[in-house]
Amino acid sequence: MTAKEILKELKALGSENTRKTLMRHGAQDPCFGVKVGDLQKIRKKIKVDHQLALDLYESGNYDAMYLAGLIADDEKMTKTDLRRWAKQAYGGSLPAYTVPWVATGSKHGQALALEWIEAKDPRIASIGWSTQSSLMSVKEDTELDLPSLKNLLKRVQREIHKSPNEVRETMNQFVIGLGCFVAPLSDIAMKAAEKIGEVTVDHGGTACKTPFAPDYIRKVEKMGRIGKKKKTAKC
């Protein structure tokens, strides 16, 4: 299938109600308003098609860009590709999920996570924190740089409350991810979370809420799932 054919299919699947919901969460036009469930059905048909993913992302259509992340061959993504995708990920699920998921599956995820975290642009920095959280959720602890993660945790403690809105949100997710997915650092993540306390994030006109990290980590601990990794970042 070609990008043109996929865009035609996406347009037919779109709805105004879904489009309005996506727009409240940061999407921008062009956006057809396709439900994630419908995108997943297309993903199952296509499976993996790297060139199609690149073409769909370049279309600038929000639904197509999200789908691109689902069908991309992550291992074929170059640093140039990923940096371009990050730059173009203007809002909604694109910086929060699409780019971090694909970066995590690539050979460059860790290097780019640290590079993006240092960006002056809050949106790019938030992609960096999200990528780091995603990496922790799928990589075995032996594959992670635990001293580096400790230093990032200290940085979050120092900076989270004075950081830009989207960076506060992803820093909070990092603390939760560290506490839930990296067993050797779970205790220090919990202590840091308690010191940090409530994190205030403006979610705009949505019903989204900022999780209280200590409660979230305790809930996972009670379930006996501390250190339990995901099979894949994408969902």
pTM for the model stands at: 0.97
Scanning the structure block, which residue is given the tokens 């205790």? 187
What torsion, rounded to 10 degrees, do the Cα atoms 33, 60, 73, 97 define?
Answer: -60
For residue 123, what is the enclosing H or E element?
helix 122-138
CA 215: distance to chain centroid? 21
Model pLDDT for residues 139-166, shown as the tens digit of each residue: 999 999 999 999 999 999 999 999 999 9
Average pLDDT in the chain: 97
Q: How confident is the model at residue 114 (pLDDT cuts 50, 70, 90)?
A: very high
What pLDDT digit, counting tens, does each position of 169-216 carry? 999 999 999 999 999 999 999 999 999 999 999 999 899 999 999 999
End-to-end CA distance of the chain: 22
Single out the residue of 68, 67, 63, 66 nearest to residue 18, CA to CA: 63
pLDDT (mean) for 17-22: 97
Chain-centroid distance of CA 51 in Å reads 22
Q: Which long-range contacts (CB under 8 A, 24 or more apart) does 39-44 make?
A: 39/63, 39/66, 39/67, 39/70, 40/70, 42/6, 42/9, 42/10, 42/67, 43/67, 43/70, 43/71
Q: What's the CA gap between 26 and 219, in Å, rounded? A: 29
In the chain, the percentage of residues whose pLDDT exceeds 70 is 100
CA dihedral 151, 156, 159, 164 (to 10 degrees): 130
Per-residue pLDDT at 72: 98
